[in-house]
Chains A and B, each alone.
Chain A
Amino acid sequence: MRKFWVILQREYAQLVHKKSFLFLTLLTPVVMVAFMFLPAYLMQKGTTSTEKYAVIDLDGNGLGRQFTDGMAGYKLSDSSTASFHLDTLVEIPIVETARYQTAYDTLVQAIRDRRLTYLFVIRPDAYLADSNMLLVTNSDNVRDINRFEYQIGQVLSRHRVEVSQISIPIDSIMALTRSVDLPRQDTKGESISPEIKFMVGTILMMLIYMLVLINGQAMMQTVIDEKSARIMEVLVSSATPFQIMAGKILGTGLAALTQVAIWIAGGAALAAYASSTGTQLDSSITRTVFNPATVICFAAFLILGYLLFTTIFAFIGSLVNSPKEAQPLLMPVIFVLFVPAMMIGFAVLESPDAKWIRVMSFVPTYTPLVMMMRVAVLAPTFEGNPLLSPIMFEAVLGMIGIIIALLIAVWITAKVFRVGILMYGKRPTLPEILRWVRHK
Chain B
Amino acid sequence: MYLTLENITKQYDGKTAVHDLSLSVPKGVIYGMIGPNGAGKTTTIRMIMNITAPDSGRILLDGREVDGTFRDRVGYLPEERGLYKKMTLREVMKYLADLKGYPSKKSNQAIGPWLERMGLKDYEFKKVEELSKGMAQKLQFITTILHEPEIVILDEIFSGLDPINIEVVKDVLLELKRKGTTILFSTHVMEQAEKLCDHICMISRGHKVLDGRIADIKTQFGRNSVQMSFEGDGHFVKTLPGVKQVLEFNNYVELQLTGDVPPHEILKTAVERLKVSRFEVMSPSLYDIFIEQAKVDPAELEHVKGGHHA
Complex Cα–Cα for A7 and B80 (A)? 21
Shortest C-beta distance, B41 to chain A (Å), equals 15
Q: Known: A2-B101, A237-B49, A238-B71. Contact between A10 and B80, CB under 8 A?
A: no
B99 touches A239 (CB 8 A): yes
User: A424 within 8 Å of B by Cβ?
Assistant: yes
A229 touches B82 (CB 8 A): yes
User: B86 within 8 Å of A by Cβ?
Assistant: yes
Complex Cα–Cα for A14 and B82 (A)? 17
Contacts of A233 in B (CB 8 A): 51, 76, 78, 80
Q: Known: A237-B76, A238-B100. Contact between A231 and B51, CB under 8 A?
A: no
Count, A-B residue pairs, CB within 8 A? 52
Shortest C-beta distance, A174 to chain B (Å), equals 72
Complex Cα–Cα for A230 and B81 (A)? 5
Complex Cα–Cα for A3 and B98 (A)? 8
Q: Known: A236-B51, A237-B51, A237-B71. Contact between A7 and B99, CB under 8 A?
A: yes
Contacts of A239 in B (CB 8 A): 71, 99
Interface of B is mostly: loop
From B71, B78, B95, contact of A230 by CB (8 A): B78
Smallest CB gap from A238: residue in B? B99
Contacts of B63 in A (CB 8 A): none
From B76, B82, B98, contact of A231 by CB (8 A): B82
Smallest CB gap from A421: residue in B? B51
Q: Known: A239-B71, A424-B80. Contact between A234 and B96, CB under 8 A?
A: yes
User: A351 within 8 Å of B by Cβ?
Assistant: no
- Provide the A166-204 mask, 1 if CB < 8 A to any CB of B, else 0: 000000000000000000000000000000000000000
Complex Cα–Cα for A3 and B97 (A)? 11
User: B83 within 8 Å of A by Cβ?
Assistant: yes
Q: Known: A237-B51, A237-B78, A238-B71. Contact between A231 and B84, CB under 8 A?
A: yes
Shortest C-beta distance, A247 to chain B (Å), equals 10
From B74, B86, B99, B140, contact of A235 by CB (8 A): B99
Shortest C-beta distance, B77 to chain A (Å), equals 8
From 89 to 118 in chain B, residues with beta carbon under 8 angstroms from any chain A beta carbon are 95-96, 98-101
Shortest C-beta distance, B279 to chain A (Å), equals 50
Complex Cα–Cα for A236 and B48 (A)? 12
B99 touches A230 (CB 8 A): no
User: B85 within 8 Å of A by Cβ?
Assistant: yes
From 229 to 262 in chain A, residues with beta carbon under 8 angstroms from any chain B beta carbon are 229-231, 233-240
Contacts of A229 in B (CB 8 A): 82-85
User: B68 within 8 Å of A by Cβ?
Assistant: yes
Contacts of A218 in B (CB 8 A): none
Complex Cα–Cα for A233 and B153 (A)? 13
User: A6 within 8 Å of B by Cβ?
Assistant: yes
Complex Cα–Cα for A231 and B80 (A)? 8
User: A422 within 8 Å of B by Cβ?
Assistant: yes
Most chain A Cβ neighbours within 10 Å, of B74, B76, B78, B85: B78
From 19 to 71 in chain B, residues with beta carbon under 8 angstroms from any chain A beta carbon are 49, 51, 68, 71
Smallest CB gap from A439: residue in B? B53
Contacts of A237 in B (CB 8 A): 49, 51, 71, 74, 76, 78
Shortest C-beta distance, A283 to chain B (Å), equals 48
Contacts of A231 in B (CB 8 A): 82-84
From 138 to 159 in chain B, residues with beta carbon under 8 angstroms from any chain A beta carbon are 140, 143
Shortest C-beta distance, B270 to chain A (Å), equals 56
Complex Cα–Cα for A237 and B143 (A)? 12
Smallest CB gap from B153: residue in A? A237
A14 touches B98 (CB 8 A): no
Smallest CB gap from B99: residue in A? A238
Contacts of B99 in A (CB 8 A): 3, 6-7, 235, 238-239
Smallest CB gap from A3: residue in B? B99
Q: Known: A237-B51, A422-B51. Contact between A6 and B95, CB under 8 A?
A: yes
Shortest C-beta distance, A18 to chain B (Å), equals 9
Smallest CB gap from B77: residue in A? A234
Complex Cα–Cα for A140 and B87 (A)? 55
Complex Cα–Cα for A132 and B285 (A)? 110
Shortest C-beta distance, B200 to chain A (Å), equals 23
Complex Cα–Cα for A301 and B99 (A)? 32
Complex Cα–Cα for A126 and B101 (A)? 89
Contacts of B83 in A (CB 8 A): 229, 231, 234
Contacts of B51 in A (CB 8 A): 233, 236-237, 422
- Provide the A348-377 mask, 1 if CB < 8 A to any CB of B, else 0: 000000000000000000000000000000
Most chain A Cβ neighbours within 10 Å, of B98, B99, B100: B99
From A234, A240, A424, contact of B68 by CB (8 A): A240
Contacts of B140 in A (CB 8 A): 234
- Provide the A1-41 mask, 1 if CB < 8 A to any CB of B, else 0: 01100110010001000000000000000000000000000
Shortest C-beta distance, A76 to chain B (Å), equals 53
Contacts of A238 in B (CB 8 A): 71-72, 96, 99-100
B96 touches A230 (CB 8 A): no
Complex Cα–Cα for A10 and B51 (A)? 22
From B49, B76, B98, contact of A6 by CB (8 A): B98
Contacts of A240 in B (CB 8 A): 68
Shortest C-beta distance, B64 to chain A (Å), equals 19
Instruction: For the complex of A and B, list the 9 residue pairs with the smallest distance between their C-beta atoms, beginning with the closest.
Output: A230-B82, A237-B76, A229-B82, A233-B78, A238-B99, A230-B80, A6-B98, A231-B82, A237-B49
Given A233-B51, A239-B71, 8 new contacts (CB under 8 A): A3-B99, A3-B101, A6-B95, A10-B95, A230-B81, A233-B80, A234-B83, A237-B74
14 contacts across the A-B interface (CB closer than 8 A): A6-B95, A6-B98, A226-B84, A229-B83, A230-B81, A230-B82, A231-B83, A231-B84, A234-B82, A234-B143, A236-B49, A236-B51, A237-B78, A424-B80
Q: Which positions in B face A, CB cutoff 8 Å?
A: 49, 51, 68, 71-72, 74, 76, 78, 80-87, 95-96, 98-101, 140, 143
Q: Which positions in A face B, CB cutoff 8 Å?
A: 2-3, 6-7, 10, 14, 226, 229-231, 233-240, 422, 424
